[in-house]
A and B are shown apart, each in its own frame.
Chain A
Amino acid sequence: NAGVTQTPKFQVLKTGQSMTLQCAQDMNHNSMYWYRQDPGMGLRLIYYSASEGTTDKGEVPNGYNVSRLNKREFSLRLESAAPSQTSVYFCASSETGNPNYGYTFGSGTRLTVV
């Protein structure tokens, strides 16, 4: 029972390089989310996908793009990485139609941009 799987776990990029962070869930959840975690800032929402085929901006979307490839997968792309994007990125999913729903988080991707 994998839950939410993120790849890669670690990545170092040079300024200006691009990369895609992958996220997949096997719980048949409708909603998926990307957060970044920075010291002293908590978790901030980058983008979300309320259902397959839809994506919307969160609190800090600049410099990122997302794709909801299907119900299982939600990827986050950095087109031109900047040092300010050094962070830990977490993907999460939830079943919002369930009143007792909770979020399930992936194990995170630790990204360093030099």
Chain B
Amino acid sequence: AQRVTQPEKLLSVFKGAPVELKCNYSYSGSPELFWYVQYSRQRLQLLLRHISRESIKGFTADLNKGETSFHLKKPFAQEEDSAMYYCALKGGSNSGYALNFGKGTSLLVTP
């Protein structure tokens, strides 16, 4: 069965400190993983997708198939990074390729 685990409900860091939001997955095939961000009471926005290997707003994420992880990292956190972050795994055809989300990590960046 496919599953996404985000072990931290809340992560609090100081401005300028490095941040890492953890995501682990279980999937029998070749995974397609995403990070979504949700600012306070707004819609979810795509932050990163592993196939594009891009860096958005200073965030990066590397797929580690050996550790089945897709951790989100940023070297220097900013106050505007405070938000809810969701890791998501694309499902198979039996779920219409729906995204399967982790429970989310709330990131709080304090001055």
Q: What residues of chain A have their CB less than 8 Å away from a CB belonging to chain B? A: 31, 33, 35, 40-45, 48-50, 56, 58, 90, 92, 94, 96, 99-100, 102-103, 105-108
Q: Which among A31, A44, A90, A94 is the interface contact of B43 at CB below 8 angstroms?
A: A90
Contact yes or no, A45 B98, CB < 8 A: yes
Residues of B within 8 A of A99 (CB): 51
Contact yes or no, B44 A105, CB < 8 A: yes
| Residue of A whose beta carbon sits closest to that of B87 | A42
Contact yes or no, A102 B98, CB < 8 A: no
C-alpha gap A79/B96 in the complex (Å): 24
C-alpha gap A92/B42 in the complex (Å): 14
B103 beta carbon closer than 8 Å to chain A: yes
Q: Which among B34, B93, B96, B101 is the interface contact of A102 at CB below 8 angstroms?
A: B34
C-alpha gap A44/B98 in the complex (Å): 10
Contact yes or no, B44 A102, CB < 8 A: no
Contact A48 B104, CB 8 Å, known A105-B43, A105-B44: no
Give the Cβ gap from A53 to chain B, nearest Cβ, in Å: 13
Give the Cβ gap from A67 to chain B, nearest Cβ, in Å: 16
Contact yes or no, A33 B96, CB < 8 A: yes
Interface string of B89-102 (1 = CB under 8 A from A): 00001011111111
C-alpha gap A20/B36 in the complex (Å): 27
Contact A48 B96, CB 8 Å, known A41-B103, A42-B102, A100-B51: yes
C-alpha gap A70/B111 in the complex (Å): 49
Contact A102 B103, CB 8 Å, known A33-B96, A48-B95: no
Contact yes or no, B104 A42, CB < 8 A: yes
Give the Cβ gap from B107 to chain A, nearest Cβ, in Å: 15
| Residue of B whose beta carbon sits closest to that of A99 | B51
| Residue of B whose beta carbon sits closest to that of A54 | B96
Q: Which among A43, A106, A107 is the interface contact of B86 at CB below 8 angstroms?
A: A43
Q: List 7 A-B contacts (CB under 8 A).
A: A33-B96, A58-B98, A90-B44, A96-B97, A105-B43, A105-B44, A108-B43
